[in-house]
Amino acid sequence: MRAGHSVPAPRRRRNALPNRHNALESLPVLAQDAAAYNMNLPSPSTTRRRGIYILPNLLTTAALFCGYFAIVQAMNQNFEAAAIAIFVAMVFDGLDGRVARLTGTQSEFGVHYDSLSDMVSFGIAPALLAYQWALMDLNKLGWIVSFVYCSGAALRLARFNTNVGIADKRFFQGLPSPAAAALIAGMVWVSTDNSLSPKDFLWLKSSACLLTFIGGISMVSNFPFWSGKNINLRKSVPFIVVIALALAFALGALYPPGVFFGLFVCYALSGYALSFWRWRRRRAAAAAARRAAAIAEAESQPSPDGEEETEQHVDTLPPQPETPEEREESASAESADEPESADKDAEDEETPLEPSDGASPTAVLRNP
């Protein structure tokens, strides 16, 4: 380096920040720019779509289809096909919940979709079937009874959805809508299979009206009906259970309309029988509690006669000495009295008996 020349200063970069203070001031601006840039991009939560499980919802759709098919067949006066379609819808409705629980595919969408399917298959379809088959000739009474059943099914499903996780899972509160639909479908199936028409038999028309009304009222009642949810399909069972199931299938194949109808009639009566048994049990328990309370009250409050008897018994007892000295004196007095009584008994034995007038001594000796 030559003398007289100074060292040139280093050049500053254009993008370099002048000092630390200016760098801190620019951070909020950079953060705002980044936020504005990110606002234009779609978030991952908006781009990801919520899917549904195909298997349980497919079974629910099959149940809905069967219910709609039953409505169409009832309007076309094909009552036997409509009744059979309702029973098939029951099979799919029972499978969708079981499959969802076994495969872990339960969802809120499936719960609401199943309720709507049940309303069509077990609410509207049975009501329309009963009206078209027997209740149409009853004019206003016919469609009113049909509406009672339809509204009962809707209220039953709404109450079931609101009581999920609260009510006892072992029992349904009120008659389930599939069982109520089976009562109507079973009666129609049995009647059409035996060529019985409500137009020809007044008792059949009255029975259909009564059964539809009772089914609608039973769905909104508080009677308990066994749910069957406590059955564990993964648990091993005895061999006799398999034989019983085989016999049940054979019996069902023997005469399906009568077997299914009788089975659901027994199920509908089981809720009332269980309620009556519980009522008798509570009544017996209340009566036993009242008897126990009466006995306890009588023991705590003795009668005046009992007090008098106790006092008399205490008066008849001999006086007992209170101190040890008195006890010794009484014991010595008793021991002194015992020889005197023994001497008196000996004198009585030694004293000869004087014969009375006209009696011989031998008679006296023989008869002392």
Domain count for the chain, please give it: 1
Q: What is the pLDDT of residues 267-314, one digit of tens each?
A: 999 999 999 999 999 999 999 999 988 888 888 876 555 555 445 544
324 falls within a domain: no
Task: Report yes or no on whether pTM surpasses 0.75.
Answer: no
End-to-end CA distance of the chain: 175
Q: What is the pLDDT of residues 226-241, one digit of tens each?
A: 888 777 777 888 889 8
- Grade residue 213 by pLDDT with cuts at 50, 70 and 90: very high
46 falls within a domain: no
77 closest CA partner among 172, 175, 181, 199 = 199
Q: Is the pLDDT of residue 337 over 70?
A: no
The whole-number pLDDT of residue 74 equals: 95
Tell me which residue range forms the domain holding 253. 54-233+243-284
Instruction: Give the C-alpha separation, 219 to 222, whole Å.
Output: 8
Q: What is the pLDDT of residues 162-208, one digit of tens each?
A: 887 777 788 888 999 999 999 999 999 999 999 998 888 899 999 99
The whole-number pLDDT of residue 101 equals: 83
Instruction: Give the C-alpha separation, 68 to 91, whole Å.
Output: 15
183 falls within a domain: yes
Mean pLDDT (the chain, rounded)? 78
Instruction: Give the C-alpha separation, 228 to 283, whole Å.
Output: 28
Q: What is the pLDDT of residues 96-116, one digit of tens each?
A: 888 888 888 888 888 899 999
36 falls within a domain: no
Instruction: Give the C-alpha separation, 226 to 206, whole Å.
Output: 29
The whole-number pLDDT of residue 129 equals: 95
Domain of 175: which CATH number?
A: 1.20.120.1760
The whole-number pLDDT of residue 279 equals: 93
Give the residue-averaged pLDDT of 78-98. 93
Give the residue-averaged pLDDT of 241-264. 89
223 falls within a domain: yes
Higher pLDDT, 246 or 317: 246
314 falls within a domain: no
205 falls within a domain: yes
6 falls within a domain: no
